Amino acid sequence: MRYLQQRREELGHSQQQVALAATMSRTHYQRIERGLVAASPVQAQALERVLGVPVISTDHLFGQNERRDLCGASLFEVENMSRSTWALAAKLTGVHGLSRQVWSQLSTLFHTDSALECSALAQVAAAGGELRLDSPLLWGFKGAIPVDRHDQFLGALRLPCLFYKKEKVVFVFWPQFRLRPGEVTWRVDGLVFYRDATRRGWLIVEFDGSGHDARLDLFRASQLRLPEVRITGKEIGARQTMDLLLQRAPLARIPDFSSLQSR
């Protein structure tokens, strides 16, 4: 809530001074000021007395069930075209030690274009990636517009994703994700939220099959302008997917597409 920071600075107060006057910890006030949490009604009243401006509280927020009941909107979206690529992956590379239940979840909820992608996702799951449903918008994604296969805006619909957390590292991986930065929709092998001890942000993951020329993706990169991690089919075949994601995500950069501008 940038307006709280602006008002605090107008009054010449530090976060610590405001927090003490409102009888809360500085850490909790900092989270309120940044919009990470909403104040309770009691906390909002205390902050209003200190800052002299209205403060959003939990009373102002719609509950998930209340919103769904009032507007009739779907809570989540699952698209699946065919399980044939997963069946082929199981035949070619096995199920990577996953239980029948987990493999069934992956093959039902995650649409893929190739057995190679299935193997890569299975490796993420085998490394501890858990099936979840959530929307990138609820994680703060502010890039291109997320759309479904009909080019319709997804909004905050929750989609199947893989959630990985170990110590200070967090991955949330949405496979086969469609983004529309302008007139053209682009599909990426994975849209990923990444966080570690020093950085957080968004990146694209691409699984490159044999013979794929990454230079062909430069125009898409110029439109999406997101850092990329690329993993080859050979690396996936060697079962290095998760290790390489962890190694390359902190170093991910937006591809250099300057050659397109010089043509």
Predicted confidence at residue 62, as pLDDT, reads: 81
| More confident: 164 or 263 | 164
Closest among 185, 259, 172 to 224, alpha carbons compared: 185
Task: Please report which confidence band the pLDDT of residue 66 belongs to, taking 50, 70 and 90 as the band edges.
Answer: confident
Q: Mind listing the pLDDT tens digit for each residue in 166-203? A: 999 999 999 999 999 999 999 999 999 999 999 999 99
**Is residue 64 scored above 80 in pLDDT?**
no
Instruction: Give the per-residue pLDDT at 129.
Output: 96
The pLDDT value given to residue 36: 87
pLDDT tens digits, residue range 86-128?
A: 999 999 999 999 999 999 999 989 988 899 999 999 999 999 9
Residues 6+ apart with CB under 8 A from 203: 192, 194, 226, 227, 228, 229, 249, 252
Confidence at residue 119, expressed as pLDDT on a 0 to 100 scale:
96
Mean pLDDT estimate for the chain: 91
Q: How far apart are CA 216 and CA 85, in angstroms?
A: 24
Tokens of 217: 């993706």
**Is the pLDDT higher at 84 or at 163?**
163
Counting Cα atoms < 13 Å in the Cβ hemisphere of 48 gives 11
**Pick from 32-36, 61-65, 98-102: least confident:** 61-65
Q: What is the CATH number of domain 2-60?
A: 1.10.260.40
In 3D space, the residue among 100, 247, 116 whose CA is nearest the CA of residue 108 turns out to be 100
DSSP-derived secondary structure letter, 60? G
Query: Cα 242 vs. chain centroid, distance in angstroms?
Result: 17
Work out the percent of the chain whose per-residue pLDDT is above 90.
Answer: 72
Contacts of 68 (CB under 8 A, 6+ apart): 75
Query: Considering the entire predicted model, what is its pTM?
Result: 0.81
For the chain, count helices (H), then strands (E). Answer: 12, 7
- C-alpha–C-alpha distance, residues 76 and 53, integer Å: 37
Q: Are 102 and 95 in contact (CB under 8 A)?
A: no
pLDDT of 80 above 70? no
CA distances (Å), origin 22, targets 28, 36, 46, 50, 59: 11, 18, 5, 7, 18
Calpha distance 227→250 (Å, rounded): 10
128 and 120 Cβ atoms separated by less than 8 Å:
no
* Weakest mean pLDDT among 38-42, 93-97, 142-146, 258-262: 258-262
The pLDDT of residue 172: 97
Residues spanned by CATH 1.10.260.40 within the chain?
2-60
Q: Rounded CA gap, 216 and 42, in Å?
A: 56
Confidence check: pLDDT of 30 > 80: yes
